[in-house]
Amino acid sequence: MSPNPATIDLARAVERWEPVIGLEVHAQCTTRSKMFCGCRADYAGLAPNTNTCPTCLGLPGALPVANGEAIRMTVLTGLALQSQIPPRSKFDRKNYFYPDLPKGYQISQFDLPLCVGGWLEFEVAGVERAVRITRVHLEEDAGKLVHPAELHRADFSLVDLNRAGVPLMEIVGEPDLRSPQEARAYLVALRQLLLYLGVCDGNMEEGSLRCDANISLRPRGTEALGARTEVKNLNSFRILQRALEQEVLRQAARLEAGETLHPETRGWSEAEATTVAQRSKEEADDYRYFPDPDLPPIVLEPAFVDALRGELPELPRARALRLRQTHGLSAEEARQLTQLPGEADYFERTVSAGAPATLAANWQVNELAGLCQRAHRTVESSGLPPERLAALLHLVDSRAVSAPTAKELLAEAIASGADPADLVEVRGLRQVSDEGALAEAVDRSIAAQPKAARDYQAGNDRALGALVGQVMAATRGRADARIVTRLLQARLPRDPGP
């Protein structure tokens, strides 16, 4: 296979130009109601413009009331990111005109965000990295414009305000990322953290987690930052990485042609597999920010912040480390099992139910994960409670059931919801490891395949496979292959060498 020309170009571009990337991540909070009114925050499946009220429609005279739960979730996120939580914060109006913004301004936070500073540690290709967090603030989501085609080609738009006013956390990172791959790994880690905190459902396809990526290039070995492009609304990990790769190529080509780049806002076009210009970048001044006179400042008592700190769950990296230390898992197993909090819970419940930890980890990662993925389910919704997996693994561990049989039963359990350990009994699938019971089948196998027996004795190891195979067939796969092998070897001493 010859390497993709774009990959070669990318490698060449980053040899000379260093990418500098900073992400702004928007996460919808999983509150019950919207940020400033009583409408539902979860608008999935509702008919357009039915999840609205005078407040989120921006009708004259309607007043906002801040959602305390959204503030709590944002501060919790800041604490998980090691941010400072200033005692005072406030909401500001960010003014701009766009059809998805009924009031003509978005309630956001300007100079006094809820959370300031901090960092997120993550791993990319086995290397430890960290991105400093600039701030985490809370704002309201805008409505949704529904386009008949991609934005830059559409000649009309439809407006759905069901989403208008949904609590939206914005997590702004410093420009500490140095490659599209790193940017992707950072977003993966941030999403994982939000899922652990239970503050966002992380669904990028449906837009509950969205990302704007800022990228500039600078000559390697220099410090000054170049003019940045902001690529808006990247809604999958794959698109984030691809859009950034395309930007590296595009900006490098311009710079090498001697052009001066200007800050601009671009969008991703899936059809053209490239970023497309949207507008030149606005400055903060353009938004005429001012404090929202309808909302009182937010005062966060130290006792409230301390109480929230106490509510922080065990976070992904700590959990992975603990799983390695207490259960002797490999780094890779621990990493895989802690990707989602529900997966780690499932593993720990399987172990509490009596399964040996290494077996439980191995079967969850290598068998169950794949079966669930194919069935479009999670381990939690797989229909196989961890106690049932533990019972099956106990049978595997005591060699009462063979691994291939157990794998088949596991697949069946996911498909039908059956209890695999029950199936073992009902169908008489217990592995035969009683030597007396196997001896007869071993003798019959040797009698039926004298040539294979002679070949094995003469030194051909592979001939043993045929003999084992016949015993397995005769016992309908229930024989313990290790014992069969041992019995055959005892019956068929090797010829002494020449």
The residues binding ligand ADP (CB under 6 A) are: 20-24, 172-175, 214-216, 225-226, 228, 230
Residues numbered 54-113 forming contacts with Zn ion, rule: CB under 5 A: 55-56
Question: What is d(CA 410, CA 370) in angstroms, rounded to the nearest whole number?
Answer: 11
Residues that bind Mg ion (CB under 5 A): 24
**197 binding partner (options Zn ion, ligand ADP, Mg ion, none; Cβ < 5 to 8 Å by kind):** none
| Residue 215 interacting partner from Zn ion, ligand ADP, Mg ion, none (CB closer than 5 to 8 Å by kind) | ligand ADP
20 binds, options Zn ion, ligand ADP, Mg ion, none, Cβ within 5 to 8 A by partner type: ligand ADP
Q: How far is the CB of 124 from ligand ADP (least distance, A)?
A: 17
The CA-based angle 5-8-11, given to 5 degrees, is: 150
Select from 10, 37, 390, 488 the one that contacts Zn ion (CB under 5 A): 37
Among the residues of 312-449, which ranges form H helices? 316-327, 331-337, 341-352, 357-363, 369-374, 386-397, 403-416, 420-426, 435-448
What six digits make up the tokens of 58?
Answer: 């921006």
Which of these ranges, 29-37, 61-69, 392-400, 452-460, lies near Zn ion under the rule CB under 5 A? 29-37
**22 binds, options ligand ADP, Zn ion, Mg ion, none, Cβ within 5 to 8 A by partner type:** ligand ADP
Q: Nearest approach, Cβ of 119 to ligand ADP (angstroms)?
A: 13
- Residue whose CB is less far from ligand ADP, 105 or 363: 105
**CB closer to ligand ADP, 174 vs 387:** 174
CB of 21 to ligand ADP, least distance (A): 6
- Is 381 buried (19+), middle (13-18) or exposed (0-12) by CB count in 10 A? exposed
* H, E, C per residue of 364-393: HHHHHHHHHHHCCCCCCCCCCCHHHHHHHH
Of all residues in the shown chain, the one whose CB is closest to ligand ADP is: 22
From ligand ADP, Zn ion, Mg ion, none, which one binds at residue 402 (CB under 5 to 8 Å depending on kind)?
Answer: none
Which is nearer to Mg ion, 24 or 412 (by Cβ)? 24
Residues in the chain: 498
Q: Which is nearer to Mg ion, 24 or 422 (CB)?
A: 24
Q: Which is nearer to ligand ADP, 123 or 174 (CB)?
A: 174
Helix ranges (DSSP H) in 223-315: 237-256, 302-311
Judged by CB under 5 A, which stretch of 52-60, 73-81, 259-267, 432-440 contacts Zn ion?
52-60
Which of ligand ADP, Zn ion, Mg ion, none lies near 172, with the C-beta cut-off 5 to 8 A by kind?
Answer: ligand ADP
Of 20, 46, 53, 308, the one binding Zn ion by CB under 5 A: 53
Residue 94 CA to its chain's centroid (Å):
32
User: What is the token pair recorded at 375?
Assistant: 């069935």
Question: What stretches of 163-236 show up as alpha helix (H) in DSSP?
Answer: 180-197
What tokens appear for 426 in the block?
């009902």
Q: CA-CA-CA-CA torsion for 489, 493, 497, 498, nearest 10 degrees?
A: -150
Instruction: Let me know the angle formed at the C-alpha of 126 by 124 and 131, rounded to the nearest 5 degrees.
Output: 35
Count of beta carbons in the 10 Å neighbourhood of residue 88? 9
For residues 445 and 438, give the distance between their C-alpha atoms in angstroms, rounded to a whole number: 11
For ligand ADP, which is the closer residue by CB, 163 or 228?
A: 228
From 216, 218, 106, select the one nearest 163 (Cα to Cα): 106
The distance of closest approach from Cβ of residue 36 to Zn ion in the complex, given in angstroms and rounded to an integer, is 8
**Contacting residues toward Zn ion, per CB under 5 A:** 37, 39, 53, 55-56
